[in-house]
């Protein structure tokens, strides 16, 4: 008698490499994430916001799982060199395969370019690590008993001032690496520095609430920039004027925002027609409040045309 009952499916099934399933380094969560991704079509964009919503897990936990997948060789993160990321723009592109060799071969063009190595969250260097400190710029000074070289003294003083400023920035960037890793998937580096400068003890839950309110404030026409509003709100210099009726409405906003971000990323990667994207968005949002859907539909339309 069979105890593992299998069906010989001829359609609507997923093929999984046995070597992936039998990898002892993969726990149940990693196997579950990998199986879920294999169920998606090849041109499905791995968007952190959308994936977090579909799997009903937090973004921080999802990033930890993805980092483990990267370390084990089943995922690859291609980080685009963008100094300032526009709202909704995809900065990191993820690739996944249940075959390590196939993934390496596919992503070889990206790996040939010098990139920052992937570090697990638990192994990030601290501020005291030599790799994170500004290199020493000591300039040898030749002193004579009869003459004091004042120009060298001025250079040394100026160097100390620069190093203090650099160390201050590095401290802001390296404090609370968990929140920083989470923010890098959403904000540009400049906004992250400003945000952690005004609120160094910011938690992920606090950021989620502030970011959600800043987006609603922007949609309501009460501010010109989400990031600027976010930083001011974190510093206590901004009073939100957009009122949420209830938690259900806030949840709908999050769902619609996640769908919007997904279709913007899908448009950039797969290059379908704008009409196809807009049609799919409206089709998936029929059950939600039409006024809210119209707001996000117009925003999606503007992003596709920009």
Q: Does 299 score more than 80 pLDDT? A: yes
pLDDT of residue 177: 58
pLDDT of residue 85: 45
Each domain of the chain, given as residue ranges in start order, spans 18-123, 247-305
Average pLDDT for 85-105: 78
pLDDT of residue 96: 95
pLDDT of residue 156: 53
CATH number of 18-123: 1.10.10
Query: Helix/strand/coil (H, E, C) string of the chain?
Result: CCCCCCCCCCCCCCCCCHHHHCCCCCCHHHHHHHHHHHCCCCCCCCCHHHHHHHHCCCHHHHHHHHHHHHHHCCEEEEECCCCCCCCCCCCEEEEECCCHHHHHHHCHHHHCCCCCCCCCHHHCCCCCCHHHCCCCCCCCCCCECCECCHHHHHHHHHHHHHHHHHHHHHHHHHCCHHHHHHHHCCCCHHHHHHHHHHCCCCCHHHHHHHHHHHHHHHHCCCCCCHHHHHHHHHCCCCCCCCCCCCHHHHHHHHHHHHHHHHHHHHHHHHCCCHHHHHHHHHHHCCCCCHHHHHHHHHHHHHHHHC
pLDDT of residue 242: 63
Q: Tens of pLDDT along 216-272?
A: 887 777 788 888 888 999 988 888 776 554 566 777 888 888 888 888 888 888 878
């Amino acid at each position: 008698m069979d105890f593992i009952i299998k069906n010989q499916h001829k359609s609507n099934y997923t093929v999984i490499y046995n070597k992936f399933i039998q990898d002892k380094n993969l726990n149940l969560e990693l196997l579950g994430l990998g199986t879920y991704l294999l169920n998606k079509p090849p041109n499905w964009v791995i968007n952190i916001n959308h994936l977090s919503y579909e799997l009903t897990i937090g973004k921080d936990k999802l990033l930890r799982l993805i980092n483990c997948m990267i370390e084990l060789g089943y995922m690859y993160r291609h980080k685009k060199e963008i100094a300032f990321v526009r709202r909704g723009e995809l900065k990191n592109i993820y690739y996944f395969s249940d075959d390590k060799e196939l993934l390496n071969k596919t992503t070889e063009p990206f790996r040939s370019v010098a990139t920052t190595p992937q570090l697990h969250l638990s192994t990030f260097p601290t501020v005291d690590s030599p790799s994170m400190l500004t290199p020493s710029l000591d300039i040898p000074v030749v002193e004579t008993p009869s003459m004091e070289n004042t120009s060298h003294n001025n250079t040394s003083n100026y160097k100390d001032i620069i190093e203090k400023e650099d160390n201050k920035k590095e401290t802001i960037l390296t404090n609370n690496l968990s929140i920083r890793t989470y923010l890098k998937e959403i904000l540009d580096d400049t906004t992250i520095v400003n945000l952690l400068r005004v609120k160094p003890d910011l938690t992920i839950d606090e950021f989620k609430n502030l970011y959600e309110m800043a987006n609603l404030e922007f949609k309501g026409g009460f501010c010109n920039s989400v990031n600027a509003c976010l930083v001011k709100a974190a510093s206590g210099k901004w009073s939100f004027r957009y009122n949420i009726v209830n938690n259900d409405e806030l949840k709908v906003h999050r769902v619609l925002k996640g769908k919007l971000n997904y279709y913007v990323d899908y448009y950039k990667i797969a290059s379908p027609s704008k009409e196809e994207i807009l049609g799919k968005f409206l089709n998936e949002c029929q059950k939600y409040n039409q006024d809210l859907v119209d707001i996000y539909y117009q925003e999606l339309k503007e992003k596709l045309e920009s």
